[in-house]
Structure 1
Amino acid sequence: MQTYDVIIAGGGMVGLAVACGLQGSGLKIAVLEREAPVATAADAPHALRVSAINAASERLLQHLDVWTQILAVRASAYHGMEVWDKDSFGRIEFDQRQQSLPHLGHIIENAVIHQELWDRASGLSDVTLVSPAGLQQVAFGDNEAFVTLADGTMMSARLLVGADGAHSWLRNKADIPLAFWDYGHHALVANIRCEQPHEAVARQVFHGEGILAFLPLSDPHLCSIVWSLSPQEASRLQSMPEALFNQQLSVAFDLRLGLCRVESERKTFPLMGRYARSFAAHRLALVGDAAHTIHPLAGQGVNLGFMDAAGLIGEIRRLHQQGKDIGEHLNLRRYERSRKHSAAMMLAGMQGFRELFNGNHPAKKLLRDVGLSLADSLPGVKPRLLKQAMGLNDMPEWLR
């Protein structure tokens, strides 16, 4: 029987962030991951899955000592944001200079963040990476939780952390109910070469049937797109000839960056909202997609997960320093309350936003256009919206 203080199921970005954040706390950590990441060459094409990393997540990654390495591999700072409603006057723009900021965020491939966190964790004395590792059994005892891996290895810990994704095996085994809803949209993702340079501005257009975001990559003419559409339309666009897709994409984007040309495969995946009824239980804490998934509308999914990691790191360290049981549900309630509130606010905000920007009903269109224009012009509104988007309201005390 291998004994640890904390066993983290899932060695993705959020699970590894928890592991790296607990280094030096005096606790013994194990991370269980199905397959280790495969290092990508520096000159490899950009991966399709990217995240818009905000200021709060950047601060966490700096604290975990991986930020400099991530920037050295490949990351694109964006200095402005534009959001507009197609065929109307509604629009809002953000600019780093107006807010006296060095940048508004970074667009980074998930694979780059994952690899750097994996490399960091593998060099830490308090962290053991176990891969490949498939979970087969779990039992929650009074003082410990016990797990059995697919190869028969038995392990125990005072706390299990479920960082094993949207279809969390640990959450299911702990019988934690899940509220979920289908957004009725699929996301189409691809990398796009634009005729005009993106000038490090993230852009998003609402066009009644869907939402199209262009996220600037390190190449000045290359963007990652996330196009949220009905499943039928997403499937049609995915399979249509390249030349026709390029044409329809350029038009949907109001030719804002000139003619666009797809430069990768086109992938689609369904968009679901999920919210676990509990984020903690006896000997268990949930983080990231195991606790919640949201619409990629504002690119906040991974940022929400990183703040779960930051919140849990702070609580585990505090409990351990005070000599308290880190796996007692009562002791984990502070983490749970804080993160459930943040996730609920984000989910509600995204849902309301999506409802408002869905469809072309004239009254709804007028309402959103007036709303965007007012938000753009009223003093004091943009700084508050920006602070929210940068995650500065959501950071735990220890990270501030």
Structure 2
Amino acid sequence: MLKVDCLVIGGGMVGAATALSLADLGLKVALVEAHAPQEYSPEQDFDLRVSAISLASEQLLQQLNAWQQVQNWRSCVYQRLGVWEDDIAYAEFNAEEIQQPHLGHIIENRLIQLALWQQLEQKTNVTLLCPEQLDTFSQSSNKVIAQLTHSQVEANFIIGADGANSKVRQIAGIGITGWDYQQSAMLINVKTDQEQQNITWQKFVPGGPLAFLPMPNNNASLVWYQDKAEIKRLSALTNEQLQTEVLENFPKRLGNVEVIAKGAFPLTRRHANDYVKGRVVLLGDAAHTINPLAGQGVNLGFKDVAALQNVIAKAIGSGENYHDISVLKRYERSRRTDNLLMMTGMDAIYTTFANPSTPIKLLRNIGIFAAHRAPVLKKKALAYACGVS
């Protein structure tokens, strides 16, 4: 039986970052993942799954020595964020307003995961169990014993970073609150006529927002939010037919595009009733899934990683038992309120812009117009979203 300090279930971006951050504290870590990330080559098409990586997430990836590798591959930096509904009500947020060189980077999820895995492979105190899956686990007062498909692991505590349908969460008996938004989001990779500017934008239209995420060179990732039936219809179209729909519905500033790939997923909100239960700790989507409206999902997950590392580092530094349940609970206290605040804020924006009422539309356009001309409010909101407040 393999014996480690910490067993991490889920080797995606958040799980890999968690394993690496704890290994950097000197803990012996095992990471369980069913599928290793595909190797990178510059000829590969862009993946559909991309993330808008905030300044705070960038700092974490730098700390974990994964950032430079991502930059050596491919990413797209942006300095501005544009938001509008009607043309008369346009708000633009600029990195200069918070004295930063940029607001973030658009990066393929797989490349972030791969860069983290390359660092994990260099750690002598990390065991990568892949391909491998969790079957079940049991916990006592001082340890966890996990039965995997091909092996067994004993650990001081177990981390669930295994996504929105977390098996760790289910086995631990941790309940969730949440709902479906009755909408889906369609991801569309396109080639564009022009190289991308340094801006990402979102326009609110009846039925749901339309978002533009710049990618390197003449490429972009589009996000189309709509009701499930409409997204199902769009998903059934050929790339050529979808291209016509994009050009008819997206703002003219997009220009001409060629659809390369597409995919869709439903929008849901989930929040675990506990982040810590006994020797079980949840991070990322296993603990919370958020409306992707502002691209904060993985950034909240990376904030979880940084918080857990900080809690355990302080416990080790003060001579405490780092895996004591009272110590692990400090992580939950440090993250739950912030996550709930962001989730509630995104829901408020989603609900407000989904309301077709003319008076509500007038009020929200006035709000956008005012936000663009309220420098102190803009600066605070932008700094918080970027994780530098």
The alignment's TM-score, normalised by the length of structure 2, stands at 0.97
Q: Deviations over 1:295-352 (max 9, x none)?
A: 1100000000001011111112222333323333222221101111111001100000
Higher alpha-carbon deviation: 15-24 or 48-57: 15-24
Residue 181 (structure 1) shift: 0.5
Which of 345, 361, 367 aligns to 1:365? It is: 361
Letter in 1 for 2:216: S
Counterparts of 1:366 and 1:335, CA distance in 2: 42
Counterparts of 1:5 and 1:317, CA distance in 2: 14
Structure-2 change in CA distance of 1:196 and 1:29 (3 Å)? same
Letter in 2 for 1:70: V
Which of 193, 198, 215 aligns to 1:217? It is: 215
SS in 1 for 2:254: coil
Structure-2 change in CA distance of 1:223 and 1:164 (3 Å)? same
**1:254 paired to 2:248:** no
Q: Deviations over 1:18-71 (max 9, x none)?
A: 111123423211111112112131221111000000000000000001111110
Q: Deviations over 1:373-392 (max 9, x none)?
A: 00001231211121022012
Counterparts of 2:118 and 2:189, CA distance in 1: 27
Q: How does 1:190-339 map to 2 (within 5 A)?
A: 190-219=188-217, 221-264=218-261, 266-339=262-335
Residue 190 (structure 1) shift: 1.3
Letter in 2 for 1:181: W
**1:121 paired to 2:120:** yes
SS in 2 for 1:22: helix
2:97–2:379 CA contact under 8 A, matched in 1? no
Instruction: Find the counterpart in structure 1 of residue 158 from structure 2.
Output: 160
Instruction: Find the counterpart in structure 1 of residue 20 from structure 2.
Output: 20
Counterparts of 1:237 and 1:137, CA distance in 2: 39
1:10–1:164 CA contact under 8 A, matched in 2? yes
Residue 99 (structure 1) shift: 4.0
* Gaps in structure 1 of 5+ consecutive residues: 394-400
The alignment's TM-score, normalised by the length of structure 1, stands at 0.94
Counterparts of 1:2 and 1:379, CA distance in 2: 55
Instruction: Find the counterpart in structure 2 of residue 383 from structure 1.
Output: 379
Q: How does 1:345-356 map to 2 (within 5 A)?
A: 345-356=341-352
Letter in 1 for 2:163: G
Higher alpha-carbon deviation: 48-57 or 8-17: 8-17
Residues matched between the structures, number: 389
Counterparts of 1:183 and 1:147, CA distance in 2: 35
**1:36 paired to 2:36:** yes
* Gaps in structure 2 of 5+ consecutive residues: none
SS in 2 for 1:52: strand
SS in 1 for 2:333: helix
Letter in 2 for 1:125: T
Instruction: Find the counterpart in structure 2 of residue 396 from structure 1.
Output: none
Instruction: Find the counterpart in structure 2 of residue 63 from structure 1.
Output: 63
Structure 1 segments of 4+ aligned residues over 3 angstroms from their partners: 97-100, 241-244
SS in 2 for 1:247: helix
Instruction: Find the counterpart in structure 2 of residue 146 from structure 1.
Output: 145
RMSD of aligned C-alpha atoms?
1.4
1:209–1:359 CA contact under 8 A, matched in 2? no
2:196–2:216 CA contact under 8 A, matched in 1? no
Q: Deviations over 1:179-234 (max 9, x none)?
A: 12101111100112233443121011100211111100011x31101111100111
Letter in 2 for 1:325: N
Residue 88 (structure 1) shift: 4.9
Q: How does 1:36-115 map to 2 (within 5 A)?
A: 36-85=36-85, 87-115=86-114
Letter in 1 for 2:165: H
SS in 2 for 1:325: coil
Counterparts of 1:252 and 1:24, CA distance in 2: 48
Instruction: Find the counterpart in structure 2 of residue 398 from structure 1.
Output: none
Q: How does 1:131-142 map to 2 (within 5 A)?
A: 131-142=130-141
Structure-2 change in CA distance of 1:275 and 1:235 (3 Å)? same
Q: Percent identity?
A: 38
Instruction: Find the counterpart in structure 2 of residue 344 from structure 1.
Output: 340
Counterparts of 1:70 and 1:190, CA distance in 2: 22
Q: Deviations over 1:58-101 (max 9, x none)?
A: 0000000111111000111012111110x452220122344432
Counterparts of 1:282 and 1:319, CA distance in 2: 17
Q: Deviations over 1:216-272 (max 9, x none)?
A: 0011x31101111100111112223444422332232221122232122x2111111
Counterparts of 1:320 and 1:232, CA distance in 2: 52
